[in-house]
Amino acid sequence: MLGTEAGAAYVATTMRKRLTRTGHTVHGLLDVGTTPVSAIMRPPAFFEGDLPLREAAARLGEDGVSALLVELGEGQLGIVTDASVRAAVADGTSIESPARAISRNARADGARRTARGGGNRRSARRGNRPPRRARRQQHLWAPVGGGSARARCPEPIALRHTILGAADEDGLVRAAEHLPQLFRLLVRAGVPPRDVGRVLSLQHDAIVTRLVDFSISRHGDTPVPWVWLDLGSAARREFTLASDQDNALAYATPSSEGEAIEVDAYFERLGSEVNAGLVRCGIGVDNNGVLAGKRLWRMSKSEWMRTFDECLTQPDESHLIRASVAFDFRPAAGGLTIAPELTARIRAAPQHPQFMRLLARAAAGFQVSLGFRGQLATGRQGEPADRLDLKHGAIIPLVNLVRFHALAHRVTISPTLDRIEAVASVGGIERETADALSEAFSVITRLRFANHAEQIAAGTTPRQPGRPR
């Protein structure tokens, strides 16, 4: 395996983390993705703009010089690269022409900015100002490959601001179109799968927030306090570009039956509009109908608390399914306080042995993608014979297993890796087992993300196994 390109790439991207974990090189290697650009940049090479391209080309041939910062006058700087010199000469520009004739504006970035974030082009508001040589604590980036995906894709926080600032749903849809390329760049940059999932969850929550804003703007203020609940992978901050919607709504308990009908009608419309907006933004509906617009997943606060109680005291198949979805929840928008009450019920799960027995049986009974002799089992869940279903055959069984151990030890944190660490810290599983589960989850997620990135590069949309493209 290590003799293949894919094997070598995997070792290269995980070696630092492994070495750091064992304590041998805690301070010996830079994590380029989170290191300030000032810590890894080379000293800039300056060049007089009136000197000919011939001399610029010679200077670019020197060891370590890949770009020249060209004096443009009045403290302004441009940039000349080997590629720009070659392109100019190919277009008929004389090699005796001054270097300033082909230079392009250099872009300034803060010296404390991370290398991973600094590679993205500045937004139009900040990025089109040529830097001055006298400015301090700046790193100069060349706008090379202006048509590349990197240049067109904002970094995570900038994209979130763009989403939250969308004037209408059409603008929001256009902003969400940047998500696939942002995801691909994060994967290519070697960002850990956990962090990629968190970034996608952050963008997902921003889209939900803006869609809620649009709905309330159209129909008026909500009649009672409310909260939008992310469920499933979004709640665990493990969202992927192939994830479906899993969401719910809770609202303050109405004071009368008549009020309850009016209140629920309002939130039915809000939930349905947000569900439809998420579809427009590329986040498909759940095949099992776990949607805030559906009555089963849209309830008053008192109904939600009663439902959680029934999941524990009446653990039939329906309630087990409900628990496996709803017990991974996270408030994403709205101000209604409901998390403490629901969390208290989840923490009481060990007091209900019948529920725990059935949950354990369900977790252990989920089919993994392994054959009788331990070989990888392909062609399941409606996939072609040469396809491996990593979601249903690996991630879901692992998540279910970890959720059971978390509930058994009153651990209510949602992210799978955090759950594993928390359960191990209270003695629920042995450290060796915890490390194996954590590594398995990270490896499987990395493989899924790499596959999604390949689909994006090929011009297709990442999809769930068994779901049409």
C-alpha 198/C-alpha 196 separation (Å) is 5
Token reading at 341: 């009450």
Rg of the chain, C-alpha, whole Å: 27
If you classify domain 37-145 with CATH, what class do you get? alpha beta
Query: 156-457 has which fold?
Result: Beta Polymerase; domain 2 (3.30.460)
User: Which pLDDT belongs to residue 209?
Assistant: 95
User: Which pLDDT belongs to residue 464?
Assistant: 56
pLDDT in tens, 19-55: 544 444 444 444 444 445 555 566 778 888 788 888 8
User: Which pLDDT belongs to residue 36?
Assistant: 52
C-alpha 257/C-alpha 106 separation (Å) is 65
User: Which pLDDT belongs to residue 110?
Assistant: 56
Token reading at 177: 């179109």
Token reading at 292: 């805030």
User: Which pLDDT belongs to residue 1?
Assistant: 63
User: Which pLDDT belongs to residue 13?
Assistant: 65
User: Which pLDDT belongs to residue 385?
Assistant: 75
Domain ranges across the chain? 1-30, 37-145, 156-457
Q: Is 459 left (phi over 0), alpha (psi -120 to 50) or beta?
A: left
User: Which pLDDT belongs to residue 145?
Assistant: 36
* Residue type present at position 264: D
- Please state whether the predicted TM-score (pTM) of the whole model is above 0.75: no
Secondary structure of residue 426 in the 3-state scheme: coil
C-alpha 343/C-alpha 413 separation (Å) is 9
Q: What percent of the chain has pLDDT over 70?
A: 79
pLDDT in tens, 146-202: 333 444 455 788 888 899 999 999 999 999 999 998 998 888 888 888 899 999 999
C-alpha 341/C-alpha 334 separation (Å) is 16
Return the H-helix or E-strand segment holding 435. helix 431-457
Q: Is 437 left (phi over 0), alpha (psi -120 to 50) or beta?
A: alpha
Stretches where the chain sits below pLDDT 70 are 1-2, 12-42, 64, 107-154, 381-383, 463-469
What helix, strand, coil percent values describe the chain, rounded to 5? 50, 10, 35
